[in-house]
Amino acid sequence: MAAPVIVTGAAGFIGMHVAERLLARGEAVVGVDEFNAYYDPALKAARAARLEPHPAFRMARMDIADAPALAALVAESGARRVVHLAAQAGVRHSIENPFAYERSNLAGHLSVMEACRHAPGFEHLVYASSSSVYGDRPGAGAGFREEDAVDAPVSLYAATKRACELMSHAYGKLYGFPQTGLRFFTVYGPWGRPDMAYFSFTEKILAGEPIEVFGQGQMARDFTYIDDIVDGVIGALDHPPELGVNRILNIGDSRPVGLMDMIAVLEQALGKTAQKVFLPMQPGDVTTTYADISKLAALTGYAPKVSLEEGLPRFVAWRRAFYG
């Protein structure tokens, strides 16, 4: 069998789905995850349990910031491609626990790059950046473009993700291996992260508790369904840039939805009306996200298919089946 693809964060939301897609098309996959307690480890264990029966999958439980261990894994596996999705996520958590972002996002990214640059014949590192690097800016009727200025982050999380892009640029110039940084816009769907608004809103609505609507409900997000995200990740992986190039690509839906519209779709899917408490913007949050996806589309044929009106009910159906 060909060398495996390493997927870091394989017990995470996007990581599990990417690993499943790779396995489904006949790839061998080595997953890496530390199963930390940022959110319910039982959900991460359940995701891993979907992957582990596959004969071409194995999970390595480790901290990606443990550089010697990760380097040994890459060398031992013979991997030539890495999809690096492990990170400390969450804008709000970065205010409460900043040093977690230093280790996972900065030291972790450096550890991954070091392992890749020492791997013989290394072909492609695809890594997760974030739409948060664009800062708080109006949509102005057009999507955020990769060439836009990204020098005004409003959260430590955003700053670490931009730092990862700059680190990768330097490593590409120094060591000549191809990299693609994907700026993810709000990803949702089955097996999602409980700290995301659509997930936490669901839990509170089902429990009959009020939901906190920040930004007085005036925010908008480029909600992107998980299956569409996986299409883009795999497409990018299959189209590496030239040696030494650190390519940056947006990966989103390109159809921003207002927060109140999202809540209305969720209420309909749940068959319950939410009690809403309107509050000001939280520190570190942004008003709008809006992806210009023309570069990824031209490279891979990427074309998001699942609307929020279709995707949120799929999430609700999964949530009812998983939690009862």
H-assigned helices in 103-244: 108-117, 156-175, 197-207, 226-237
φ and ψ at residue 204, rounded to 5 degrees = -70, -40
Measured from the Cβ of residue 19, the count of other Cβ atoms closer than 10 Å reads 31
CB atoms within 10 A of CB 243: 12
- Record the tokens describing residue 26, joined without a space: 């006949």
Residue of 134, 157, 171, 302 with catalytic role: 157
For the record, the structure tokens of 14 come out as: 């996007």
Conformational region of residue 192, where left means phi above 0, alpha means psi within -120 to 50, and beta covers everything else: beta
d(CA 271, CA 205): 10
Q: Is 157 a catalytic residue?
A: yes
The first and second tokens of residue 155, run together, are 């959260």
Give CA–CA dist 171/250, Å, rounded: 21
Residues involved in catalysis: 157
